[in-house]
Every structure is written in C-alpha cells, then in structure tokens.
Amino acid sequence: MNFDEIIDRRGTNSSKWDKMQAYGGVSPEDGIAMWIADMDFRAADVLQEAVQGLLKTANYGYFASDAKASEAAAWWMKTRHGWEVDPATMTSTLGLGHAIALLLETFTDPGDEVIIFTPVYHEFTAKIEALERVVHEAPLVIRDGIYHMDFDALEAGLTGRETAMLISSPHNPAGRIWTKAELQRLAALCDRHDLLMIADEIHHDLVYPGQSFTPFLLAAPEAAARTFVLTAASKTFNIAGTRQATVTIPDAGLRKRFRHALHVHQTQPNLFGVELTAAAYSPRGAAWVDELVAYLAGNSRLFLDGVNRISGVTAMPMQSTFLAWVDFAGTGMEMEEVLRRVHEDARLVPSVGGFGTGDETFLRFNIGTARPQVEEAVSRLQDAFADLQ
C-alpha cells in the first residue's frame, strides 16, 4: 500500500476538509486539515472488495443479522489483543459516540457525576453535559513528558455523587497507553466506589512498535460485571463514515437493558458498517494495519522531531494514535497569537480546545495523512515560529 499518495478529499463531503474553513477559517485551497480524527489514506483493498461485493447484490434491503461483524470482532480481539470475547456479549451501535450517550442515558441519572481524565476527547464532556449529567474531571499530570493519572487526588476529590467512569484507552489526545497496573488500579477504584466503567478502546490498534496495549477486561477481569468495552474498526481502518461500533457487555442484566434501549430507538446497524467491519477484521485487514502502523510511527517521528525543534514548543511523545498533542506554553505567547500564526501564517487547521482542564496551551494535530503533507506541515510551523529560534 502506498500511503505516500496524496488523496485530494476536498469536495467529497469530507468533514475534515470540507468543514475546515468553517472550523478554522483556513481555505482548503492552500490549507492542510489536521483536526477531525480520520485519515486521508485510500481504503485497504479488502474493504474495497467488500463494497464491490455489496454492489454486485444491487440490493440494499433489510439484512438478516450483524453476527458476522461481532464474530469478526471477537476473532480480532483474540488474535490482535489476546482478549477472548464471546460474540454473544457484543452489540452493534452506530458509532462510539452513540454508544457512550446511550450508556450514560440508560445507566446513570441526571445530576450524576461521571469521571473523565482530562484533557480528553471533547465528546466525552459534550455527551455528559448534553444529558445533564455532571463532568467530574480528574486532571492528568505530566511526568517524564507523558500523562499519568493522579489516583490519590482523584480518590480524595470524590463527592459520592459519581456513578460512572469513562476512559479513553489508549488516550486521545497524545496516545498514552494505560498500563495493566494502571487499569487494575482503576478497576479497584471503581469497585470501592461502585462505579460503572465505560472503557473506550477505539484507538487500541494503532499502537507503535515497542509499545503494547492491554484491554481493560484482560487487565481486570474481576470488573466484568460493571464494565462496558467500546471498540470499532472505524479509527483503525478509517471507516468512521459507516457508523459501526461494538459494545461488549459481559453482564447479562446490563446487556439486556442496553439492548432494550437500542431497540426502543430502532437503532439497528448499517448494512455497509456491518460488511466493512466484518471484512476489516480479517488476516488481510491485519496485514494492512501492520503496514499502516509502521507508516504512522514514521509520521510521528518526523512530526514530533520537527515540531520540537521550534523554540518553546513541545510535542508529547506518542505511544499510539495519529493524534499529536503539542504544547505552545514555552513560546510565552497568548493562545490567540499562537492560533493566528498556525491558521494565518502556516495555513494549518489543528483541533483547538474542548478537551477540558489541561488543554489550555495545547493544539492537537492529526498526522494520519500522507508523509509529504506532514513534512509540509512541519516546515510551515517552523516558518511561522521562526522568529523564536
């Protein structure tokens, strides 16, 4: 697969490219979109063939079941992550955002506090607040350049109104992979305070060489009765537009309640999501992901090295994901001036704000794109801040 090929997604109804002007004020004519978390690569052949297979049927009526997606997902969890899951405990949703919202709605009440580790994927806060639950922030601390959970501060700050914890594992932004020991401490904390655990593992496949990811339920099988694990092929294979995710709920009672809530809303999965997920979670899909991960690791080295050469700018080391997290605090500039340079001078559109406490001096750059684009972005950033060198 030639990941270096630059695919022009402008004018294709791509959120990242066709909404960049509205979001960041930079024209797609000369700008580079580095915000929304999808990638600019051509889909894997195995996915293209799955779509062709559907085209041949020339019929898009009701389909019998999503079992093939669950079975393929269970195979993937076992072969890629060493995690044995019974496909009967899996349920399809229309993406992870959908799953998170429905889980919160079903298993927590208005006014309940939901613990999240900030800065984190902005939709966590958005969903909690939209449902009139309360965000309980557990700010991450930076040690040795990377994020750590402050377990003592978290436990000391509990109000007793918390009913759930929502984690991004690996963590978006910056791709920190929580260790087995950290996940076990979280499980113990949830047990002590009777919290439900929603483990969002959407980024679990894009793990860099030398790093290893531990699924929450592999680290803490004793937490199964209070845990919901969210996974999808969407980030890994860049099929977020097909809106398919998997919620694994080991506890039969919780699973029944969740399925009832889905049923009430008639939210069955999408035919294309089921077919593409089933095709992706395969040996051919795995080979493609191995190539992709090696490529992303190269992008990450290039981006982090280049950005770290700018005086006062520090990029957090990445263990996974294509979401680089860059701190401009050392420039001494107001964020308004940083953004003016990034938008107007460098013509780049990263993600800004919404990640919660700790995001104030950071911008998130999506490096899931062809390397020449990453090189161009680095060079533009270096030029935009050249007076600081």
Ligand X SMILES: Cc1ncc(COP(=O)(O)O)c(C=O)c1O
Residues that bind ligand X (CB under 6 A): 37, 95-97, 121, 168, 172, 200, 202, 232, 234, 240, 245
Separation of alpha carbons 382 and 160, rounded Å: 48
Task: Tell me if 93 sits within 8 A of 267, measured CB to CB.
Answer: yes
Task: Tell me if 139 sits within 8 A of 125, measured CB to CB.
Answer: no
Paired residues of 113 in beta bridges: 134, 162
Nearer to ligand X by Cβ, of 168 and 319: the residue is: 168
375 CB-near residues (< 8 Å, 6+ apart): 302, 306
Nearer to ligand X by Cβ, of 169 and 331: the residue is: 169
Minimal distance, residue 120 CB to ligand X, in Å: 8
Nearest CA to 316 out of 209, 166, 181, 177 is that of: 177
Using DSSP bridges, classify how beta strands 314-315 and 323-327 pair: parallel, antiparallel or unpaired. Answer: antiparallel
CB atoms within 10 A of CB 161: 12
Minimal distance, residue 95 CB to ligand X, in Å: 3
Nearer to ligand X by Cβ, of 173 and 306: the residue is: 173
Work out the angle between the directed axes of helices 271-280 and 45-57 (0-180°, nearest 10).
140
Minimal distance, residue 131 CB to ligand X, in Å: 15
Nearer to ligand X by Cβ, of 247 and 378: the residue is: 247
Minimal distance, residue 206 CB to ligand X, in Å: 11
Minimal distance, residue 336 CB to ligand X, in Å: 26
Minimal distance, residue 223 CB to ligand X, in Å: 19
DSSP designation for 58: T
DSSP designation for 193: T
Minimal distance, residue 238 CB to ligand X, in Å: 11
Nearer to ligand X by Cβ, of 245 and 348: the residue is: 245
Separation of alpha carbons 380 and 365, rounded Å: 13
Nearer to ligand X by Cβ, of 157 and 354: the residue is: 354
Using DSSP bridges, classify how beta strands 90-93 and 245-248 pair: parallel, antiparallel or unpaired. Answer: antiparallel
Nearer to ligand X by Cβ, of 295 and 322: the residue is: 322
Residues 267, 269, 274, CA angle at the centre, nearest 5°? 175
Nearer to ligand X by Cβ, of 214 and 331: the residue is: 214
Minimal distance, residue 259 CB to ligand X, in Å: 19
Task: Tell me if 83 sits within 8 A of 250, measured CB to CB.
Answer: no
